[in-house]
Each structure stands twice: as C-alpha cells, then as structure tokens.
A = this chain, B = another copy of it.
Amino acid sequence: LGLAVLPAFAADPLPSWNDGESKSAIVDFVTAVSTEGGPDFVAPADRIATFDNDGTLWAEQPMYVQLAFVLDRIKVLAPEHPDWQGTEPFKSALAGDMAGVAASGEAGLLQLLAATHSGMTSVEFTQIVSDWVAKAKHPETGKLYTAMIYQPMLELIRYLKANDFDVFIVSGGGIEFMRPWTEQVYGIPPQNVVGSTIETTFEMRDGGPVLLRGEHVSFIDDGPGKPVGIQTHIGKHPIAAFGNSDGDLQMLQWVTSGPGKRFGGIVHHDDEKREYAYDRKSHFGKLDKALDLAPSQGWQVFSIKQDWKSVHPQ
C-alpha cells in the first residue's frame, strides 16, 4: 500500500507531449546538461532558461491579453473622462473598433497605455491587475486567461526546475502586468520576471513612501531588447530559450550562441482546431524570420498539432 504513493521510476516528466523529435530533443538536452561527469554537464548555477510569455506560455489570440486589459480598463475609466467619447484613440477603444485603434498608430497605443498603466502607485497597479486577472475571460473560450496557458509548457518549466534550472520569463509585456500572477500560475516568482518597464519614481507621501508609475516607457523588452533585459536582470548567459515569434529572434540567437550545449525552442501555432494557426502574417506573434532560421540554427520547432497531446490544462 505504501509503495503505491512513491513516484514511479523514470515517470514521464512531460506527459502532455507526444513522443517525437521535439520531446526527445528536450529530454536529451536536459539529461545531457545535468549528467555529472558527462561531456555536456553544466553546473546547476549556470542552468538558466528563459521563456517568452505571450504565445509561448499562454494564448495571444485574438489579441494580446495585456491589450484586452487596456480595453477593459478604458471602459472602466471612461465615466471619469467624458472627453474620451469624442477623442481618438479612446473613442475607437470604447467602441471596440480595433481598426480605429490601429489607425491611431504607435502614438495612439502609447496614449492608451499611459491612461491605463500610469499615474498610480506600484501597489495600486498590482491590485488593479490582480482584480482584473481574477475575473477577465477569454472572448472566445469564456475561460479565465490564466486557464489559457499551455499545459505542455507548464510541464517543461517544472521539468527544468526539477533539474535545477533557474527559470525566467523574458517577455515584451509589462513586467508589473505579469508579476501579480506568474508565481501562482507558472511557479515563476516576481524576481524571475523580466519585461518592459515604465519610468517609476520614489515619492515620500504623508502615508509613507510610494513608487509612482510615470508615462515614459523606459525599456522595451522585445526583439533586440530581450538579450539586454536578460543581461540586466540575470547577468548570466542562459543555456535554453523558448519563444514563438520574431520578437524572440535575438533572444534565441543570444542564448544559443557560445560554448557548450544549448537549446532553442519555438512554439509553432499550427493547430486551428484545438487552438490557433498563425505565423508569418499574424498581427500578434508574427513568426517569420525565426522560422526560416530555425533549421540552420538547430532551433527545435514545436508543432502544437503534432507535439502536444493536450493544449490547455484540463
């Protein structure tokens, strides 16, 4: 009876992955770098892995989750801003007119970002995000966004951590938009989350010190920004990186360069039945150059259709 609760010997650490090249490549890599005395052994302190978030750990269609947050937030704040009814990009955002929002360009997006992400303290923003993420639902599945995470990738994170990897998120998304929930959802604590930041200033108030969120975007953790974010926050050269779009190209190049065994993985959204199928022409998560480079660079492309037994947690 007692034996039944013992973990099975060599139990499958990746049960939601189908047998195949992707799964084998992951297991071979992890085994190689963690086999003491082996030719590819890497000391635990140097086993650093980085994961993109949108489209790699959770769904990014029909739009980035953080953009859904922005649009919801604009609606909540609209009563305090009657002028928004007649002013772009707020007018289009309130009407749910995405083409109108897009027409306002980057300047318009920055206005929406400032209106929803700035002017409050860090503690207040964390509360706003926590409240939203606890209730907001995906428009097509009706599930919580935190249920729209990818079960196979969750298993991959756990497998790496079980083999003494220090696992980081390195995302183009806002760092403080992710931190309130990444520990509970992925098991990745705030200090292991790297993302885009806005200028924040320290202020002494009557009630005590606060960190005030400003409007200026101080760092964009995307594309060539990802290796820079890795260096600033981690200060080590990771040996494994996982992404899903050209925004991860430089991270993949950086992480898979250098001596020793390294792993680059790309989640390819090719399953229109169970999830979404998009790559070279997508507005969100465009995957083009990195897909072309994958074979020559030895990056493993994970096909959702073929490699994943299930997509989201059941």
Contacts and interface: CB of A to CB of B under 8 A. Distances in A.
A34 interface: no
Interface stretch (A63-71, A94-102, A250-258): A250-258
A233 B227 CA distance: 15
Oligomeric state, in copies: 2
Interface stretch (A51-59, A188-196, A284-292): A188-196
A209 B257 contact: yes
Contacts of A236: 189-191
A211 B227 contact: yes
A201 B228 contact: yes
Contacts of A235: 175-176, 179, 190-191, 193
A200 interface: yes
A108 interface: no
User: Size band of the A side of the interface?
Assistant: 20 to 34
A232 interface: yes
A197 interface: yes
Nearest to A227: B202
Interface string A188-232: 011101000100111010001101000000000000110110011
A311 B254 CA distance: 42
A45 interface: yes
A224 B211 CA distance: 10
Contact of A233 (B191, B202, B258): B191
B176 A201 contact: no
A236 to B, nearest CB: 5
Given A235-B190, A236-B190, A228 B211 contact: yes
A130 interface: no
A147 interface: no
Contacts of A253: 204, 208-209
Given A201-B228, A209-B227, 12 more contacts: A166-B191, A179-B235, A190-B236, A191-B233, A197-B232, A200-B232, A208-B253, A208-B258, A209-B253, A211-B227, A211-B228, A211-B231
12 contacts: A175-B232, A176-B235, A191-B234, A200-B228, A201-B224, A202-B225, A202-B250, A202-B254, A209-B254, A211-B227, A211-B228, A211-B231
